[in-house]
Amino acid sequence: MVTDLEKKVISIIQGDIPISERPYRDIGEMIGVDEKTVIEVMRGLSEKGLIRRYGATLRHQKSGYTANVMVAWQVDEACIHTVGRRMAEHEAVSHCYRRSPDEKWPYNLYTMIHAHDRDGCHAIARELSQSPGVKEYTMLFSEQELKKTSMVYFEDEFDTDD
Q: What is the pLDDT of residues 103-154, one digit of tens each?
A: 999 999 999 999 999 999 999 999 999 988 898 999 999 877 776 665 566 5
Residue 17 belongs to a domain: yes
Domain that holds residue 94: 67-141
Residue 109: strand pairing partners: 73, 98
Q: Looking at the structure, do residues 51 and 77 belong to the same domain, yes or no?
A: no
The whole-number pLDDT of residue 64 equals 64
pTM beyond 0.85, yes or no? no
Structural domain total, the chain: 2
The pLDDT of residue 153: 60
Average pLDDT, the chain: 87
CA 138 to chain centre: 21
Co-location of 71 and 134 in the same domain: yes
CA distances from 115 to 13, 61, 70, 73, 105 (A): 29, 10, 12, 18, 26
Task: Quickly count: other Cβ atoms within 10 Å of residue 145's Cβ.
Answer: 10
Mean of the pLDDT values across residues 94-107? 94
